[in-house]
Structures are given as structure tokens and as C-alpha cells.
Structure 1
């Protein structure tokens, strides 16, 4: 049943959406640690979102045009057994990201843009206990950086505001436990990921002028107290993954996962942006992301000694219809198909495709929150593949 999970790993490279479950992209899988024997894997995914809408009538009702850009995912990992009880894994992934850009055809939000990039190196160890139990854990070094622009008439005096966040890294940790019964291909693994805290060097400008150079009168102040550069503290979310599999008949595997992430702790409050909202520094954020969960369940089937396949369904619940313009979707329903082929006893090729239907949403700005556009009937198509080598 092992190679069926090569297919599942590929499907994870075809996420439902850049903004699905907050900023999640990879889902931080730990399945590499449970591969049989020594194993290395290189994986790649490409995601093609189709996300557009219309401005509300107050802004003319014009089409926004496509706002979500295509993006790629790369993963690389190796797992090594030190002995029958102790094993290690080292892997690279891109856990979080966003790539949203509103064309100028949108009167309300044209020019709004958000690019978030991340990189992570994770080192884990697993120790097998008696009676099928094991524990795993380790460290994760993670870097993030971002570039956010607020554009369009819906932002009023902040139209043209830009915050550029330089890269910063931090160390987090991973803890988990698993239970296995190999005779029925049963495995249940629970893994906790700590958040990481980043002090991002920040440059704030308004229509290309550093905020520290803005005339005080333009801000309605006797003097301008702001500096163009500052440091913004950003915490990435804590998360919990539950992965499971079990044989349900000969050569057939039921598998699934649940991921919960605490995104409400992810606040992005550059000094000028925060203060200009209500005159005080109180945590006004460029982002507004709810805590949430993602569910996946599927069936894998071995067709021959070399070929196996899988089908999986995904679900992310919808919440408030009013959403951030930087993540203009609300819930996801997806289906994914995958194939895995053993070229030799050492080499395996896996590939997968995923189609996701995105929930309707209304990007908002202002206080109180006010809808500025309507996004309906949007979707995403994604492909992924991996090359695995047992040694």
C-alpha cells in the first residue's frame, strides 16, 4: 500500500487555492517520515486559479478581471532509517503564500495586490515504541516575506498605499504521535506545528512617497510623526494535522486528513497603516483571516504490481461572505485524481490533478465592513507530480 501514498503526496501539491485555509499552500505534510526504508522524493505542482467578479453598483458594476495569478509549488525531502526503531527526515517546502493582483479595470479595487512567499526546512525524527505506537518531532526553520498594495476607490485616502516586508526567519517545532497496524495498513498520526514569529523590516509608502516624507497637513496633524521604515511583527499560525489510512479490502486503501490552523493570530499591522485607521496603534491588520479547517478523504486502489490510483474529495467550510480583498473566496469543494507507477523497485513516478470549486464571496473595506465587489462561480485547476527513489 506504500505507493498509494506517493499519489496522495502529489495531490497535496495541487492545493485548492492560494488562499485556501488562510495562506496554506503545502499543508505541511509529514507522510515522508512514514515511508518504508530509506527514501528520497522530489515533487512539483502548478496551480491555475480562475477568480474574478464585479464591482458593486456603487462603483459602476464593472468586471474586476482575473485577480489570482498562477503559481508553482516545489518540495524536496529525504528519509533515512538509522535502525529498526529510529528514523529521520529532512524536507524543504513552501508552506504559505499568496499571489493576488486586481487589474485597473476594477474601479473599486484596481491596483490592490498581495504577494506572500515562504520557505521552510524541516528536520524530524521518529521513534517506534511497543505495540504499534510511535512518537515524532523536530524543528522547522521558516522564512517569509511579502509585498502588499491597497488600490482602488474603495480604499479612499489609502488608495496607493504600499507595504514591502523584507524576509525574516524563525525557528519553530513539531510534535506528534502515531499508531500503526501494518497487517491491515492502518495508520493514524496526529501532528502539532508551532507558530513562528517574524520581525519583518518594513517600508511604507503612499503613492510612491515614503510615509515619513508626507506633509503633516495632508494627514491632518501638526507634525508628521511617522518613519518610512519600521519593523512589523507577524506570527504564522499554529496548526494541527490528523492523517489516517486503513485497508478496507485487498489492494484497497481508505485515507484522509484533517488540518486545523489558528489564523486569527496572524496579524499584519505596519505602523502607519495601523495608526491611520483610528489614530492609535491597536493592531489594525492588513489581513483578516479566520481560524479554519480543511478535510480530505479518498480511496486508493492497486491495479497491478506496478500501477495504483486514487480519488480524493476535499472540503473547507465557508464563513462570513464579507472577506478580505486579498483572499476573495469563501470555502472550497474539490476532487482530485492520482496515479502512481513503480518504474523499477527503486524508482516511482506519481502524478495528480485537482479541480476545486470556490465559494462565493464579497471583498470588503471600511469600518464597518462594506462590500465592494461580488465574486461568484470561481474555480481552480491544479496538477502535480513527484519522483521517488528508494535506497
Structure 2
């Protein structure tokens, strides 16, 4: 039994940086590792968030979540019955936040984070039941942050900007899986290591340089993911995942801020559960629900004004021919209430926010 619709659901991208815990976007998918044979795949997704709130003077913030797109690709080669290897490309982290001019408290406050990751992997099957997988990860990260508005006036940071140049660094991925092929059972545990970056940083206030050029050390978090699937009836599959992200190690402390961090990210879990059904030799579909953990309270950074989420995703796949499969899906995400704060002082409130995202994947076997 194939992993019916699972990839179609997994590639439907997050709605904003905080769709999942922290800055997660792709969720570091690993299902491609467990496919059979030689293949290549390409995926693309887009998201349209609606994140509106008000500041402490009840001025509307406007929609602070910019629409964005992500893409991914992979190639896999079956070297023997036991050994396979390949390459996965994804965009693991991201942010696109911008406050409009209607909010005098946070007008112009913005954050963008861009990333890409290249995971060279290998998988070795001891037998039909047990296997191990792992590989080397090369990751790029860059960012740009602006603090603006009355919320930063008293600290002298109104108009502050930090531009973080791209940096590439290495990490690793390792895991193991247990399978019972006759019932399509698979339980896989995968660990992604922390990755340490040193980002060349330029800091200005209203365009005036306020600190010598420097490097800002940033660590992206380690993650542990437990993915599972099992057949429950003919042509029917149940699947899901539990993922922990250790974001307490992630802080961004440019020199001009005197040791203060631009980020306020908490550790947390993402959980999903879905069912897939093959309707014919060509068509299959899936439905998935998921949950991302809220923080200990509703206080968040203005650079990430959501707090936990729940989502519903619907996916479908079509076997175009013997070698080509096309998958796609749509997703609706509902965000938890959040209170942006500066120095512990609330500066606004967000609630009732949501996002719609969609994506597709094409996979070719050779």
C-alpha cells in the first residue's frame, strides 16, 4: 500500500512563520526517504495569511502577514535492496511580518527570515522490518528586522534596523524505522541537530549606522519527530506525527541591543493525524487535522503575533501514468489569540486570525 495522499498533505505549506512552533515552515519532511525505487520530485506551495489586530490605542494594525511561497525538491536512488540514498531540498524556516501605517504604536515594525536546507541522506534496511537513515545537512539563513513606532520610542530604538547577511553551516540528521510491509505499518523516529550560524550584521537607526559591523551568532533548533502510518482497512491508511522543536536555544542578540534578544521563541510540539483512502488505481485522497502548541501565556513578540494553531488539510493524488504522480492539497489554519509586548508591556492584541495555503507535488520514477 502506498502512503496515500500523505505527501500531498505534507507539502501544503504553513500559513505564517508561527503556523507551527517557532519559525517552522516545511516541518523537515522525511517521507521521501521511505519511498521505493529511483525517483525525483518537486513541490511548490503558497500561503495567504490574514493576521489583523489592534494596538493599545485601538488603531488597526492591518494585515501584518505577507503572502509567501516555498518550494522543495528531492532525488532518490535505490542502490540495492538494502541501500538507498539521495538529496532533499527544503525551506525549513521563515517569517514575513510587516505592520501598516494605521498603527502608530508599531508602524513599520517588520521581520523577514529566509532559509534553505540541503540534506544528503542514506537509508540502510537490515531486513523488511528494521532500517536506519541519516545524513548531512547544509543550511543557509538570512534575515532583516526593523523596530518602529511609538512602542520603541522610549528605548531609543524607533527606526532600528538589523540586516543579517546569509550564512551557511552544517548539521546532521539521523533516525530509525520499524515496518510491517503487509499492513503498511511504519514508525519512524528522526532527529535533526542544532545548526550554529554566524551572521554578518549591519545595524542602523533611521539609516544612520549605530554599531561597527559585527557577527551575530544564531542557533536553529534541534528537532525530534515521530512519524507513523498503518493500514486499517483495504486501501485505507491512518498516518500522523508528533514533533518537538527546541527553540529555547534560538536567540538573536545584535551588539547594539546590549544583550537583549530580538526573538522570544518557546519550545513546543506540533501534532497531526490524518486518514488516506485510495479510491481507484489512479485517484487517492486524504484529510489531516493538526495542532501546534501555544506558549505559556498569550504574550508574544510583535515580530510573531500568533500563538499556537489548529488546522485542517485536504489532499489528493492522481497517478498520471506508470512513472508520474501528481499530488496537491489545501489547508485552513486557525491561530490562537496573542498579545504582542515590548519589554513585558502589552502593545496590542490579535485574535480570530487565520490563513489559507495550498500546494502541489509532482513525482517521477525512473
TM-score relative to the length of structure 2: 0.97
- Aligned twin of 1:341: 318
1:10 shift after superposition = 4.3
Q: Secondary structure at the match of 1:264?
A: helix
- Aligned twin of 2:54: 54
1:9 shift after superposition = 4.3
Question: Residue 190 of structure 2 contacts residue 225 of structure 2 at CA under 8 Å; is this kept in 1?
Answer: yes
| Equivalent residue for 1:303, pick from 271, 274, 279 | 279
Q: Secondary structure at the match of 1:176?
A: strand
1:3 shift after superposition = 5.0
Structure 2 unmatched ranges of 5 or more: none
1:119-144 residue CA offsets vs partner (Å, 9 max, x unmatched): 11110000001360100001000010
1:37 shift after superposition = 1.1
Q: What is the alpha-carbon distance in structure 2 between the residues aligned to residue 195 and residue 116 of structure 1?
A: 17
Q: What is the alpha-carbon distance in structure 2 between the residues aligned to residue 375 and residue 343 of structure 1?
A: 44
1:132-166 residue CA offsets vs partner (Å, 9 max, x unmatched): 01000010000100000001101121110000000
Mapping of residues 123-162 of structure 1, within 5 Å: 123-130=120-127, 132-156=129-153, 157-162=156-161
- Aligned twin of 2:265: 289
1:358 shift after superposition = 0.4
- Aligned twin of 2:357: 382
Mapping of residues 97-116 of structure 1, within 5 Å: 97-116=94-113
1:216-262 residue CA offsets vs partner (Å, 9 max, x unmatched): xxxxxxxxxxx2x1110000000011110000011000000111111
Q: What is the alpha-carbon distance in structure 2 between the residues aligned to residue 53 and residue 90 of structure 1?
A: 41
- State which structure, 1 or 2, has the greater radius of gyration over its C-alpha atoms: 1
| Deviation beyond 6 Å, 4+ runs, structure 1 | none
Q: What is the alpha-carbon distance in structure 2 between the residues aligned to residue 52 and residue 261 of structure 1?
A: 27
Q: What is the alpha-carbon distance in structure 2 between the residues aligned to residue 230 and residue 83 of structure 1?
A: 49
1:108 shift after superposition = 1.0
- Aligned twin of 1:350: 327
1:390 shift after superposition = 1.0
1:98-129 residue CA offsets vs partner (Å, 9 max, x unmatched): 00000111111111000000011110000001
| Equivalent residue for 1:329, pick from 284, 306, 321 | 306
2:215 matches 1:237: no
Question: Residue 242 of structure 1 contacts residue 259 of structure 1 at CA under 8 Å; is this kept in 2?
Answer: yes
Q: What is the alpha-carbon distance in structure 1 between the residues aligned to residue 229 and residue 113 of structure 2?
A: 33
| Equivalent residue for 2:234, pick from 215, 234, 250 | 250
Count of residues paired in the alignment = 362
Q: What is the alpha-carbon distance in structure 1 between the residues aligned to residue 326 and residue 128 of structure 2?
A: 33
1:73-94 residue CA offsets vs partner (Å, 9 max, x unmatched): 1001011110000000201111
Cα root mean square deviation, aligned: 1.1
Question: Residue 192 of structure 1 contacts residue 239 of structure 1 at CA under 8 Å; is this kept in 2?
Answer: yes
- Aligned twin of 2:25: 25
2:82 matches 1:85: yes
